[in-house]
Amino acid sequence: MIDMMVFCVLAFTGVIMAAMLGHYSLGPLGDAMRRLNAPTRFAMGDMLWLAVLIQLAIGASTALYQDAFRAGSRWFVMTMLLAGALGIWVGGVSTMSRAGITQTWRRGVCTLVLLPLAIALMMIAIFAIVAGPIVLLLLAQNGGRVAVRGTWHLTSAAWIAMFVAAIIVIAVLVVVVRRLSGWLIAVPANGRGRVGEDPYPDDADAHANEDQGGISPTG
Protein backbone atom coordinates (compact mmCIF):
# COMPACT_ATOMS: atom_id res chain seq x y z
CA MET A 1 0.00 0.00 0.00
CA ILE A 2 1.04 3.60 -0.65
CA ASP A 3 1.32 5.85 2.38
CA MET A 4 -0.97 8.88 2.17
CA MET A 5 1.87 11.20 3.09
CA VAL A 6 3.92 9.91 0.14
CA PHE A 7 0.98 10.46 -2.18
CA CYS A 8 0.43 14.01 -0.91
CA VAL A 9 4.11 14.86 -1.35
CA LEU A 10 4.12 13.47 -4.89
CA ALA A 11 0.90 15.29 -5.74
CA PHE A 12 2.24 18.59 -4.40
CA THR A 13 5.52 18.08 -6.27
CA GLY A 14 3.62 17.26 -9.45
CA VAL A 15 1.51 20.39 -9.27
CA ILE A 16 4.55 22.60 -8.60
CA MET A 17 6.57 21.05 -11.43
CA ALA A 18 3.62 21.29 -13.81
CA ALA A 19 3.16 24.96 -12.95
CA MET A 20 6.86 25.61 -13.55
CA LEU A 21 6.75 23.84 -16.92
CA GLY A 22 3.67 25.80 -17.92
CA HIS A 23 5.26 29.08 -16.85
CA TYR A 24 8.42 28.35 -18.82
CA SER A 25 6.58 27.13 -21.91
CA LEU A 26 4.32 30.19 -22.04
CA GLY A 27 7.19 32.51 -21.11
CA PRO A 28 7.23 34.66 -24.28
CA LEU A 29 3.49 35.22 -24.08
CA GLY A 30 3.69 35.94 -20.36
CA ASP A 31 6.45 38.50 -20.93
CA ALA A 32 4.28 40.29 -23.50
CA MET A 33 1.36 40.29 -21.07
CA ARG A 34 3.41 41.82 -18.26
CA ARG A 35 5.04 44.37 -20.56
CA LEU A 36 1.85 45.58 -22.19
CA ASN A 37 -0.97 44.65 -19.80
CA ALA A 38 -3.59 45.93 -22.23
CA PRO A 39 -7.30 45.86 -21.27
CA THR A 40 -9.37 42.78 -22.03
CA ARG A 41 -11.28 43.16 -25.30
CA PHE A 42 -13.52 40.71 -27.10
CA ALA A 43 -13.44 40.41 -30.89
CA MET A 44 -16.13 39.03 -33.17
CA GLY A 45 -13.77 36.25 -34.23
CA ASP A 46 -13.58 35.06 -30.61
CA MET A 47 -17.19 33.89 -30.84
CA LEU A 48 -16.20 31.64 -33.74
CA TRP A 49 -13.46 30.00 -31.67
CA LEU A 50 -15.90 29.56 -28.78
CA ALA A 51 -18.33 27.80 -31.13
CA VAL A 52 -15.52 25.49 -32.29
CA LEU A 53 -14.61 24.62 -28.70
CA ILE A 54 -18.25 23.89 -27.86
CA GLN A 55 -18.60 21.63 -30.90
CA LEU A 56 -15.43 19.76 -29.96
CA ALA A 57 -16.66 19.26 -26.39
CA ILE A 58 -20.06 17.98 -27.53
CA GLY A 59 -18.50 15.73 -30.16
CA ALA A 60 -16.00 14.25 -27.72
CA SER A 61 -18.64 13.46 -25.10
CA THR A 62 -20.95 11.92 -27.70
CA ALA A 63 -18.15 9.79 -29.14
CA LEU A 64 -17.16 8.52 -25.69
CA TYR A 65 -20.69 7.65 -24.59
CA GLN A 66 -22.76 6.50 -27.55
CA ASP A 67 -24.73 3.98 -25.49
CA ALA A 68 -28.18 5.30 -24.55
CA PHE A 69 -27.98 3.52 -21.19
CA ARG A 70 -25.02 5.69 -20.24
CA ALA A 71 -26.76 8.99 -20.97
CA GLY A 72 -26.20 10.20 -17.41
CA SER A 73 -22.44 9.76 -17.71
CA ARG A 74 -22.49 11.41 -21.12
CA TRP A 75 -24.24 14.51 -19.80
CA PHE A 76 -21.83 14.73 -16.88
CA VAL A 77 -18.78 14.46 -19.14
CA MET A 78 -20.31 16.93 -21.60
CA THR A 79 -20.93 19.43 -18.80
CA MET A 80 -17.34 19.11 -17.59
CA LEU A 81 -15.94 19.46 -21.12
CA LEU A 82 -18.14 22.47 -21.83
CA ALA A 83 -17.00 24.10 -18.59
CA GLY A 84 -13.39 23.43 -19.57
CA ALA A 85 -13.96 24.83 -23.06
CA LEU A 86 -15.51 27.98 -21.60
CA GLY A 87 -12.60 28.34 -19.18
CA ILE A 88 -10.07 27.99 -22.00
CA TRP A 89 -11.94 30.57 -24.08
CA VAL A 90 -12.26 33.14 -21.28
CA GLY A 91 -8.64 32.67 -20.26
CA GLY A 92 -7.54 32.87 -23.89
CA VAL A 93 -9.39 36.12 -24.52
CA SER A 94 -7.87 37.70 -21.43
CA THR A 95 -4.38 36.43 -22.26
CA MET A 96 -4.48 37.53 -25.90
CA SER A 97 -5.87 40.95 -25.06
CA ARG A 98 -3.24 41.61 -22.40
CA ALA A 99 -0.50 40.46 -24.78
CA GLY A 100 -1.76 42.71 -27.58
CA ILE A 101 -2.73 39.90 -29.98
CA THR A 102 -5.51 41.30 -32.16
CA GLN A 103 -5.36 39.25 -35.37
CA THR A 104 -8.32 36.86 -35.56
CA TRP A 105 -6.35 33.87 -36.81
CA ARG A 106 -3.62 34.31 -34.19
CA ARG A 107 -6.28 34.46 -31.50
CA GLY A 108 -7.72 31.25 -32.94
CA VAL A 109 -4.35 29.50 -32.79
CA CYS A 110 -3.93 30.60 -29.19
CA THR A 111 -7.42 29.44 -28.19
CA LEU A 112 -7.61 26.18 -30.14
CA VAL A 113 -3.98 25.04 -30.12
CA LEU A 114 -1.66 26.80 -27.68
CA LEU A 115 -3.74 26.76 -24.50
CA PRO A 116 -5.01 23.15 -24.92
CA LEU A 117 -1.42 22.00 -25.54
CA ALA A 118 -0.23 23.86 -22.44
CA ILE A 119 -2.98 22.24 -20.36
CA ALA A 120 -2.12 18.81 -21.79
CA LEU A 121 1.54 19.42 -20.94
CA MET A 122 0.76 20.17 -17.31
CA MET A 123 -1.65 17.23 -16.96
CA ILE A 124 0.88 14.77 -18.40
CA ALA A 125 3.58 16.19 -16.12
CA ILE A 126 1.38 15.74 -13.04
CA PHE A 127 0.52 12.18 -14.08
CA ALA A 128 4.15 11.26 -14.71
CA ILE A 129 5.44 12.74 -11.45
CA VAL A 130 2.63 11.29 -9.30
CA ALA A 131 1.95 7.95 -10.99
CA GLY A 132 5.54 7.15 -11.93
CA PRO A 133 7.00 6.51 -8.46
CA ILE A 134 3.74 4.97 -7.16
CA VAL A 135 3.51 2.38 -9.93
CA LEU A 136 7.21 1.56 -9.64
CA LEU A 137 6.75 0.99 -5.90
CA LEU A 138 3.73 -1.24 -6.53
CA LEU A 139 5.69 -3.18 -9.11
CA ALA A 140 8.50 -3.70 -6.61
CA GLN A 141 6.03 -4.91 -3.99
CA ASN A 142 4.25 -7.33 -6.35
CA GLY A 143 7.12 -9.04 -8.08
CA GLY A 144 7.21 -6.78 -11.13
CA ARG A 145 3.54 -7.19 -12.16
CA VAL A 146 0.47 -5.11 -11.29
CA ALA A 147 -3.07 -6.06 -12.31
CA VAL A 148 -4.95 -3.30 -14.11
CA ARG A 149 -8.75 -3.66 -13.88
CA GLY A 150 -8.22 -7.38 -13.47
CA THR A 151 -7.97 -7.96 -17.22
CA TRP A 152 -4.28 -7.46 -17.99
CA HIS A 153 -1.04 -7.02 -16.10
CA LEU A 154 1.40 -4.14 -16.21
CA THR A 155 5.02 -5.27 -16.10
CA SER A 156 8.04 -3.26 -15.03
CA ALA A 157 9.38 -3.07 -18.60
CA ALA A 158 6.03 -1.84 -19.94
CA TRP A 159 5.68 0.82 -17.27
CA ILE A 160 9.26 2.04 -17.72
CA ALA A 161 8.61 2.32 -21.47
CA MET A 162 5.41 4.30 -20.76
CA PHE A 163 7.23 6.55 -18.30
CA VAL A 164 10.05 7.25 -20.76
CA ALA A 165 7.47 7.95 -23.48
CA ALA A 166 5.71 10.42 -21.16
CA ILE A 167 9.00 12.22 -20.48
CA ILE A 168 9.66 12.47 -24.22
CA VAL A 169 6.14 13.81 -24.83
CA ILE A 170 6.61 16.39 -22.07
CA ALA A 171 9.91 17.54 -23.58
CA VAL A 172 8.38 17.83 -27.04
CA LEU A 173 5.36 19.74 -25.73
CA VAL A 174 7.60 22.17 -23.83
CA VAL A 175 9.50 22.99 -27.02
CA VAL A 176 6.35 23.22 -29.16
CA VAL A 177 4.39 25.37 -26.70
CA ARG A 178 7.30 27.75 -26.10
CA ARG A 179 8.01 28.16 -29.82
CA LEU A 180 4.32 28.65 -30.58
CA SER A 181 4.04 31.16 -27.75
CA GLY A 182 6.96 33.12 -29.19
CA TRP A 183 5.53 32.91 -32.69
CA LEU A 184 2.22 34.41 -31.58
CA ILE A 185 3.93 37.64 -30.53
CA ALA A 186 6.48 37.69 -33.38
CA VAL A 187 6.55 40.23 -36.22
CA PRO A 188 3.37 39.76 -38.30
CA ALA A 189 3.48 39.25 -42.05
CA ASN A 190 2.27 42.78 -42.79
CA GLY A 191 5.41 44.19 -41.14
CA ARG A 192 3.49 46.61 -38.92
CA GLY A 193 5.56 45.96 -35.83
CA ARG A 194 5.36 43.38 -33.11
CA VAL A 195 2.10 41.84 -32.05
CA GLY A 196 3.09 42.44 -28.44
CA GLU A 197 2.98 46.22 -28.88
CA ASP A 198 0.07 48.23 -27.52
CA PRO A 199 -2.89 47.65 -29.89
CA TYR A 200 -4.85 50.50 -28.29
CA PRO A 201 -2.42 53.45 -28.08
CA ASP A 202 -5.28 55.96 -28.07
CA ASP A 203 -6.66 54.42 -24.89
CA ALA A 204 -3.24 54.66 -23.24
CA ASP A 205 -2.94 58.33 -24.22
CA ALA A 206 -6.41 59.01 -22.92
CA HIS A 207 -5.64 57.42 -19.56
CA ALA A 208 -2.36 59.34 -19.32
CA ASN A 209 -4.11 62.65 -19.99
CA GLU A 210 -6.82 61.86 -17.47
CA ASP A 211 -4.17 61.06 -14.86
CA GLN A 212 -2.55 64.43 -15.55
CA GLY A 213 -5.84 66.25 -15.30
CA GLY A 214 -5.95 66.95 -19.03
CA ILE A 215 -8.56 66.30 -21.68
CA SER A 216 -8.62 63.01 -23.54
CA PRO A 217 -7.68 63.42 -27.22
CA THR A 218 -10.72 61.35 -28.13
CA GLY A 219 -13.04 63.27 -25.93
Q: What is the pLDDT of residues 79-123, one digit of tens each?
A: 888 999 999 999 889 888 888 888 888 889 999 999 999 999 999
Predicted local distance difference test score (pLDDT) of residue 151 = 57
Any domain includes 44? yes
Predicted local distance difference test score (pLDDT) of residue 189 = 44
Give 152's strand partners.
Answer: 148
Q: What is the pLDDT of residues 121-176, one digit of tens each?
A: 999 998 888 877 777 777 666 666 665 555 556 666 777 788 888 899 999 999 99
Any domain includes 216? no
> How does DSSP assign 75-136, residue by residue?
HHHHHHHHHHHHHHHHHHHHHHHHHT---HHHHHHIIIIIHHHHHHHHHHHHHHHHHHHHHH
Return d(Cα 110, Cα 107) in angstroms, integer.
Answer: 5
Task: Of 42-46, 134-138, 193-197, give the lowest mean pLDDT range.
Answer: 193-197
- Domain carrying residue 43: 4-205
Mean pLDDT taken over the chain: 77
Three-class DSSP category at 4: helix
Any domain includes 106? yes
Percent of the chain with pLDDT over 90: 23
Q: What is the pLDDT of residues 3-37, one digit of tens each?
A: 677 778 878 888 898 899 989 999 988 888 888 88
Any domain includes 217? no
Predicted local distance difference test score (pLDDT) of residue 114 = 93
Predicted local distance difference test score (pLDDT) of residue 10 = 78
Helices (H), the chain: 4-25, 27-36, 44-64, 71-99, 104-109, 115-141, 156-184, 201-211
> Is residue 203 packed enough to be buried (19+ CB in 10 Å), middle (13-18) or exposed (0-12)?
middle
The count of domains in the chain is 1
Predicted local distance difference test score (pLDDT) of residue 168 = 92
Any domain includes 193? yes
Predicted local distance difference test score (pLDDT) of residue 145 = 63
* pTM for this predicted structure: 0.73
Any domain includes 212? no
CB-based contacts of 112, cutoff 8 Å, min separation 6: 49, 52, 53
Any domain includes 214? no
The closest alpha carbon to 2, from 123, 167, 132, belongs to: 132
Any domain includes 42? yes
* Residue 58 CB coordination number (10 Å): 14
